Amino acid sequence: MPRERIAMSAEEIAAFLAAKRTAMLGLRGADGAPDGAPATISYRDGVLVVELPADGEVARDVLGDPRIVVSVEEYPSYARIRGVAVHGRAVSIGAAEGRERFRVDQPRIESFDFAKMKRTPAE
Amino acid sequence: MSALPPDADEFLRTHTRTFLVTLRPDGAPTCHPMVGLYHEGALYLTTYRKSAKVRNLTADPRVACVVVTQDDDPEFRGIVLRGRAEVLAAGAVMPWTPETPRPAGTGAGVARLVQSRVAEGKRVVVRVVPDEMKAI
């Protein structure tokens, strides 16, 4: 389907991200193959921050290859699926209380909102 | 990450919320929320034949699939499957079974619509055979 027609507005994306605390992180593992892990996120003033367990495998892999994607979605029903993916580079901004924090730099955002489809899909 | 729990197989058969991680042509990872059906040791997904997902996994079949509960589940958990993806030949079907839970708000009409798109060749079925599985 033509994604541009069902993309969220910048305001919708900001509100969507600001309301979420859990996301799926896509990354490359130490072997170079794709990997995924849940992450805690916060979004404020246009800056996305990802928190991972410090000294864990995922944080180590992100430090090794900072190319990441942060995917957030909600699926209340098929006709109302929404999602945002933020592609960017993870920059460590420090660790505290056992959590390593990364800012997502050079963000490139994709989004979709099935409610914007002209024709509602079958339920 | 930790070793698989004893109920991993049951968890995969009873949860469909899946995030597919593929590699883009520039080598960066990308992630797509999908519905995944686990059947006899493999995870099955369906998407449009012309989608970026299919282009990516055709160029590099290495993928990760993360099957998780809902974000607000008080006992949030999941399983990561890392392995290789293949686009199945025309005629393949998604392995829906009576015990497969349907995602919220997704009725039989959606399943029929998806299957008709597969039959038309607009959608394809992708099978992911894991080389590695780990709990999160």
Question: Is the CB of A28 less than 8 angstroms away from the CB of B103?
Answer: no
Q: Considering the domain boundaries, does residue A94 fall inside one?
A: yes
Contact A29, B63 (CB under 8 A): no
- pLDDT-derived band of residue B116, with 50, 70 and 90 as boundaries? confident
Q: How confident is the model at residue A118 (pLDDT cuts 50, 70, 90)?
A: confident
Structural Rg of chain B based on CA atoms: 15
Residues B56 and A75: their CA atoms lie apart, in Å, by 24
pLDDT of amino acid A123: 47
Q: What is the pLDDT of residues B9-36, one digit of tens each?
A: 999 999 999 999 999 999 999 999 999 9
Answer yes or no: is the ipTM higher than 0.85: yes
Helices (H) and strands (E) in chain B, counts: 3, 7
CB contact under 8 A, B105 and A78: yes
Per-residue pLDDT tens for B61-106? 999 999 999 888 999 999 999 999 999 998 888 888 777 777 776 7
Domain boundaries, chain B: 8-135
B65/A123 touch (CB, cutoff 8 Å), yes or no:
no
Number of domains in chain A: 1
Q: What is the CATH number of the domain that holds A51?
A: 2.30.110.10
Contacts of B30 in chain A (CB under 8 A): 26, 69, 85, 87
**A22 assigned to some structural domain:** yes
Q: Using a CB-CB distance cutoff of 8 angstroms, which residues of chain A are in contact with residue B65?
A: 36
Q: Take residue B69 and report the two structure tokens written for it.
A: 């509960």
* B118 has a pLDDT exceeding 90: no
What fold characterizes domain B8-135? Pnp Oxidase; Chain A (2.30.110)
Q: Which residues contact B120 (CB under 8 A, 6 or more apart)?
A: none
- Residue A41, in any domain of the structure: yes
In a domain, A92, yes or no: yes
**pTM confidence score:** 0.93
Choose among B1, B17, B113: nearest Cβ to A57: B1
pLDDT, position A35: 98
Domain that holds residue A60: 3-114
